[in-house]
Amino acid sequence: MNTLWIVVIGIVVIYLAYTQYARRVDRNVIRSDAKRATPAKMYMDGVDFMPTSKNILYGYHFKSIAAAGPIVGPITAANIWGWFPSLLWLVVGVALVGWASDYSAIMVAVRNDGNSLSAISHKLIAPRTRRILFVFIFFYLMLLAGAFVGILAAILSARPDVPFGIIMLALMGLLAGQMMYRWKMDLILTTVITVAVTILAMAVGPWGQTKNEKGGLVQGPVGQAIVSLNSAVDNISGKKPLMSIVDPTGADPRVPVPGADGKRPTTAVYDAATGLVRTLPNYLLWMIFLFVFSYCGANMPIWRFAQPVNYIGFWIMLFTIVLSAVGMFVAPLSGVKDAAGNVIGAFALAPVKSLGFTLAAGKAWQPLWPMLFVTIACGAISGWHALVGSIGTARQLEYETDGLPVGAGSMLGEYSLATLSLTAVSIAGVGGGGGRFAAGVGKLIYAGTFGAIPEVFGTALGFGAFVMIVLTVTQLVFRVMRVTLTEWVGDAIPPVRNMHVSSLISMVLTLALVLTGTWVYLWQMFGASNQLMAALSLLVVTVWLKSEKKNPSYALYPMLFMYFTTIFATLVTARNLYVTIAANPSMGGLPVAGAWAMIVVAVLLVVAALFIGWDGLRAYQRYSGKAAEAKPAVAQARS
Amino acid sequence: MTEKEDDKPGGMKGIWRGLQQTIYGMAAHDMSRAALRTRASMEHLFILITMGDLLGVPILPPYYSLRLLPYVVPQIATWKRRMLREKDVSDAMF
Distance from CA of B12 to the nearest CA of A (A): 15
* pLDDT for residue A27 is more than 70: yes
Taking CA atoms, A28 is separated from A22, A135, A533, in Å, by 10, 35, 26
Q: What is the rounded CA–CA span in Å between residue A61 and residue A101?
A: 14
CA distances from A562 to A132, A490, A529, A555 (A): 18, 33, 11, 11
Residue type, A9: I
Exposed/middle/buried for residue B76 (C-beta within 10 Å: 0-12, 13-18, 19+): exposed
Q: Report the amino acid identity of residue A229.
A: L
What average pLDDT does this structure show over A187-206? 93
Which of the residue ranges A27-36, A152-161, A324-333 has the most confident prediction, judged by mean pLDDT?
A27-36
Q: Is the link from the previous residue into A558 a cis peptide, with omega within 30 of 0? A: no
Inter-chain CB proximity B92 and A483 less than 8 Å: yes
Residues of chain A contacting residue B38, judged by C-beta atoms under 8 Å apart:
303
**Is A118 within 8 Å of chain B by CB?**
yes
Q: What is the DSSP string of A243-299?
A: EEEE-TT--STTSPPP-TTS-PPP-SSEETTTTEEEE-HHHHHHHHHHHHHHHHHHH
Mean pLDDT for all residues in chain A: 89
Q: Is pLDDT above 60 for A321? A: yes
Any chain B CB within 8 A of the CB of A319? no
Confidence (pLDDT) at A631: 54
Sheet holding A270-271, edge to edge: A243-246, A276-279, A270-271
- Evaluate whether residue A111 is within a structural domain: yes
Q: What is the mean pLDDT of residues A345-355?
A: 88
**CB within 8 Å: B34 and A311:** no
Question: Between residues A497 and B52, which one has the greater pLDDT?
Answer: A497
Q: Is the dihedral of CA A522, A528, A531, A533 positive or negative?
A: negative
Q: Contacts of residue A311 in chain B, CB cutoff 8 Å?
A: 27-28, 31
Other C-beta atoms lying within 10 Å of the C-beta of residue A250? 18
> Phi first, then psi: what are they for A576, rounded to 5°?
-60, -45
Which of A206-215, A319-328, A451-460, B31-40 comes out lowest in average pLDDT? A206-215
In a domain, A607, yes or no: yes
Give dist(CA A81, CA A73) in Å, integer.
Answer: 12
pLDDT at A628 over 50: no
Q: For residues A79 and A250, what is the distance between their CA atoms, to the nearest angstrom? A: 9
List the single best residue of B1, B23, B90 to mutate versus A (max A Cβ within 10 A). Answer: B90
A543-577 pLDDT, tens digit per residue, is 999 999 999 999 999 999 999 999 999 999 999 98
Closest CA to A102 of A449, A340, A387: A387
Decide if B26 and A130 are in contact by the 8 Å CB cutoff.
Answer: no
CB atoms < 10 A from the CB of A99, how many?
28
pLDDT reading at A391 higher than 80: yes
Asked if the structure places residue A55 within a domain, the reply is yes
Provide the pLDDT for residue A597. 87
Separation of alpha carbons A268 and A266, rounded Å = 7
* A315 near B CB under 8 A: yes
Mind telling me how many Å the CA of A114 is from chain B's nearest CA?
10
Helices B76-84 & B29-50 angle (0-180, nearest 10): 100
Rg (CA), chain B: 19
CB B2 to CB A51 under 8 A? yes
Per-residue pLDDT, B47 = 80
Residue A394 pLDDT greater than 50, yes or no: yes
Sort out which chain B residues have CB atoms less than 8 A from A130's CB and list them.
88
B18-77 pLDDT, tens digit per residue, is 999 999 999 999 999 989 988 888 888 778 777 777 677 777 777 877 787 788 777 788
More confident residue, A287 or A118: A287
Average pLDDT over residues A513-540: 86
Per-residue pLDDT at A395 exceeds 90: yes
Locate the chain A residue with the closest alpha carbon to B94: A392
Residues above pLDDT 70, as percent of chain A? 96
In this predicted structure, the answer to whether residue A627 has a pLDDT above a threshold of 60 is: no
Task: With CB atoms and an 8 Å threshold, state whether A52 touches B94.
Answer: no
CB atoms within 10 A of CB A600: 11
Q: Are A206 and A453 in contact (CB under 8 A)?
A: no
Confidence of residue B5 (pLDDT cuts 50, 70, 90): low
Residue numbers of A between 483 and 502 with CB closer than 8 Å to B: 483-484, 487-488
**Mean local confidence (pLDDT), A412-436:** 86
Strand partners, A211: A217
Question: How far is B69 from chain A, CA to nearest CA, in Å?
Answer: 19
**Best-predicted range by mean pLDDT among A345-359, A607-621, B3-17?**
A607-621
Number of folded domains in chain B?
1
Q: How many domains does chain A have?
A: 1
Q: How many CA atoms lie within 13 A of A120 on its CB side?
A: 29
**pTM summary value:** 0.90
Q: What is the pLDDT of residues A204-233, one digit of tens each?
A: 988 888 887 777 778 889 999 999 999 999
Q: What is the mean predicted confidence (pLDDT) over A44-64?
A: 91
Find the CB nearest A391 among B26, B35, B90: B90
- CA atoms of A595 and A580, how far apart (whole Å): 9
Angstrom distances, CA of residue A607 to CA of A128, A244, A481? 13, 32, 22
Contact A62 B25 (CB under 8 A): yes
- Please choose, from the candidates A175, A208, A451, the residue with its C-alpha nearest in 3D space to the C-alpha of residue A326: A451
Going by pLDDT thresholds of 50, 70 and 90, the confidence category of residue A431 is low
- Domain membership of residue A155 as a residue range: 3-208+217-358+382-638
**Chain B CB within 8 Å of residue A318 CB:** yes
B81–A49 CB contact, under 8 Å: yes
Whole-number pLDDT of residue A20: 95
Q: Which helix (H) or strand (E) holds B72?
A: helix B62-72
Are A410 and A294 in contact by the 8 Å Cβ rule? The answer is: no
Report the chain B residue with the minimal C-alpha distance to residue A63.
Answer: B26
For residues A502 and A480, the answer to whether their CB atoms sit within 8 Å is: no
- How confident is the model at residue A340, as a pLDDT? 77
Beta partners for A218? A210
What value does the mean pLDDT take over residues A314-338? 90
Task: Kindly give, in sequence order, each residue whose CB lies less than 8 Å from that of residue A252, ignoring residues fewer than 6 positions away.
Answer: A150, A154, A277, A433, A518, A519, A520
- The span from the CA of A404 to the CA of A400, in Å, is 8
Stronger pLDDT, A432 or A453, i.e. the higher one? A453
**A261 phi/psi in degrees, rounded to 5:** -85, 0
The answer to whether B94 contacts A50, with C-beta atoms less than 8 Å apart, is: no
- Interface contact A119-B86, CB threshold 8 A: yes
Chain B CB contacts of A499 below 8 Å: none
Residues A494, A469 contacting (CB under 8 angstroms): no
How much is the pLDDT for A248?
Answer: 67
* Higher-scoring residue by pLDDT: A70, B49: A70
Nearest by CB to residue B36, choosing from A46, A58, A134, is: A46
Using CA atoms, how far apart are residues A174 and A194, in angstroms rounded to an integer? 10
Q: Does A187 touch chain B (CB under 8 A)?
A: yes
Position A66 confidence tier, pLDDT thresholds 50, 70, 90: confident
DSSP states of A467-532? HHHHHHHHHHHHHHHHHHHHHHHTTTSGGGGSHHHHHHHHHHHHHHHHHHS-HHHHHHHHHHHHHH
pLDDT at B58: 72
B94 pLDDT band, cuts 50/70/90, is low
Q: Is the pLDDT of residue A456 over 50?
A: yes
Residue A178: pLDDT above 90?
Answer: yes
B10: pLDDT strictly greater than 90: no
pLDDT band per the 50, 70, 90 thresholds, residue A634: low
The bridge status of strand A270-271 relative to strand A243-246 is: unpaired
Chain A residues in contact with B3 (beta carbon < 8 A)? 53
CA dihedral sign, ordered A116, A119, A125, A131: positive
Of chain A, the percentage scoring pLDDT greater than 90 comes to: 53
CA distance B41 to chain A (A): 10
Domain of residue B29 covers 5-93
Which residue in chain B is spatially nearest to A180 when comparing CA positions?
B31
Give Cβ neighbours of residue A222 (< 8 Å, ≥ 6 apart).
A161, A164, A204, A205, A207, A208
Q: Which residues of B touch A44 (CB under 8 A)?
A: 78, 81
ipTM: 0.87
Q: Which residue of B has its CA nearest to A479?
A: B93
Say which amino acid occupies A44.
Answer: M
Side chain identity, residue A206: P
**Residue A1: beta bridge partners?**
none
Closest to A154 (Cα-Cα) out of A349, A292, A290, A317: A290
Mean pLDDT, to the nearest integer, of A89-108? Answer: 96
Within a domain: A364: no
| φ, ψ of residue A473 in degrees (nearest 5) | -70, -40
